[in-house]
Amino acid sequence: MTNQSEIAVSAARTGRWRWQEIVFWLLVLASYVLFSNRYLILTEIAWLALFALSLDLIMGYAGIVSLGHAAFFGVGAYSVGLLAKYGIINEPVIALVAAGLIAMVLGFVTSFLVIRGTDLSRLMVTLGIALLLRELANRFSDITGGFDGLQGFTIQPVLGLFEFDIFGSVAYVYCVAVLFVLFLIARRIVNSPFGLSLRAIQNNPLRAAAVGIPVNRRLVTIYSIAAFYAGVAGALFTQTTALASLDVFSLERSADLLLVLVIGGGGYLYGGIIGAVVFKILQEVFSTITPQYWQFWIGFVLVAIVLLGRDRMHRWVMWGPDFLIRRLGLRPASAVRPEGGRS
């Protein structure tokens, strides 16, 4: 039947790889060669992107807002530090997964507090949990090092083969590899029947329940998965800096993360990565121009984005490329951002 294949093609539409996506990841690969003297900031971008991807999973896809996502980042960061310090798990990749799982358990347990209630109560509960963890880390300073941070551990070579070098090239490749693998998994998840049910819940929880979707259970699941992602991001942070201090839990980190996702846009997976790139570049540029007042300009950009609307800015930026592409008779690049994505 013709319709049968039409339906199959249309249903699979959102999961199909677009050429823009392939170009995107080729650019990521190319960055290794093009910016070989900037591995430190590239590494920061990579773990920040993964962290933002985590927030995108709950906010962009399931509509759960959070002002305390740093809780999971922090738990991942300290877990990996402690595992290395006490020699429990020395191999970075295994430690990374372990740290993610620890964060995931925390995410599962706290999800029951978070999924209830409105956006405002979710903001407050998530914020509260992050503050709580920060103070716990502060209180148990004999384990965590308290205000001085966790010190005196070294990160072993990745897979026992690749030692972290002073130029940061191994760290960068390692972070990007982890980001890419977790991105692929996230991509698969959001394009699955499970992912569709999340979007339905985000759109209309009342009707989602009336279609037979166990709304709370789905939210618990994605919240736990997102906690795993955030934990891994925190673990990458600690492994690439050999440092874990109380500020991993800070409100500022959670707030910056929201900014990153607002800059990049939620609900299409690339928002977190693009947001991380733009945020770090802006931070770099502004702090070079005006070292003391760079946050003024970050604030300025944020207000501009919200007032102008990302879609409009996206159209302005893509006008040139789209014009060329139309001339060549291809699909416009600005179509890469599907409808339904929201900040």
Partner 1 sequence: MTLALETIGLEKHFGGLNVTRNLSLQVKAGARHALIGPNGAGKTTVINLLTGVIAPDGGKILLEGADITAMPVHRRVRQGLSRTFQINQLFADLTPLETIGLAVAERLGQGTQMWRRRGTRPEINDEIEQHLTNFRLLDVMNEPTVTLPYGKQRLLEIALAIATGPRVLLLDEPAAGVPEIERHDILAAVANLPRDVTVLLIEHDMDLVFSFADRISVLVSGALLVEGAPDEIARDPQVKAVYLGEAHDA
Q: Does the footprint of partner 1 cover residue 15 (CB under 8 A)?
A: yes
Query: 3-state class of 150 per DSSP?
Result: strand
| Residues binding partner 1: number (CB under 8 A) | 40
| Angstrom distance (rounded) from CA 81 to CA 47 | 16
Kindly state the smallest distance separating residue 127's Cβ from partner 1, in Å.
28
In the block, residue with structure tokens 């960055």 = 31
For residue 299, state whether it binds partner 1 (rule: CB under 8 A).
Answer: no
Residues with Cβ < 8 Å from 104, sequence gap 6 or more?
224, 225, 227, 228, 231
CA distance 183 to 204: 26
Considering the complex, state which of residue 12 and residue 313 has its C-beta at the smaller distance from partner 1: 12
- Between 120 and 210, CB nearer to partner 1: 210
In whole angstroms, the minimum distance from the beta carbon of 204 to partner 1 comes to 6
Q: Judge contact between 70 and 258, C-beta under 8 A.
A: no
Q: Does residue 193 touch partner 1 according to CB under 8 A?
A: yes
Among 54, 197, 224, 239, binds partner 1 (CB under 8 A): 197
Nearer to partner 1, 15 or 299 (CB): 15
Of 100, 195, 264, 266, which one interacts with partner 1 (CB under 8 A)?
Answer: 195
Q: What is the DSSP letter of 192?
A: S
Residue 116 or 139 having the CB closest to partner 1: 116
| Contact positions with partner 1 (CB under 8 A) in 159-188 | 188
Separation CA 203–CA 299 (nearest Å): 29
- Closest to partner 1 by CB, 9 or 308: 9
Q: What is the DSSP string of 200-231?
A: HHHH-HHHHHHTT--HHHHHHHHHHHHHHHHH
Q: Which H or E element spans position 175?
A: helix 169-190
CB 199, min distance to partner 1, A: 6
State the virtual CA torsion across 163, 186, 258, 37 in degrees, nearest 10: 30
**By C-beta, is 13 or 312 nearer to partner 1?**
13
List the interface residues with partner 1, window 319-338 (CB under 8 A). Answer: none
| Nearer of residues 16 and 327 to partner 1, judged by Cβ | 16
Is the C-alpha dihedral spanning 284, 313, 68, 61 positive or negative?
Answer: negative
Q: Does 17 bind partner 1 (CB under 8 A)?
A: no
* Residue entry with tokens 């800096």: 241
**Binding to partner 1 by residue 3, rule CB under 8 A?**
yes
Residue 196 or 242 with smaller CB distance to partner 1: 196
**One symbol per residue from 201 to 230: x for binding partner 1 (CB under 8 A), - otherwise; what is it?**
--xx-xxxxxxxxxx--x--x---------
Amino acid in the structure at residue 196: L
Question: Is residue 309 a contact residue for partner 1 (CB under 8 A)?
Answer: no
User: Which structure tokens are listed for 277?
Assistant: 């790139």
Interface positions with partner 1 (CB under 8 A): 1, 3-4, 7-15, 188-189, 191-197, 199-200, 203-204, 206-215, 218, 221, 339-340, 342
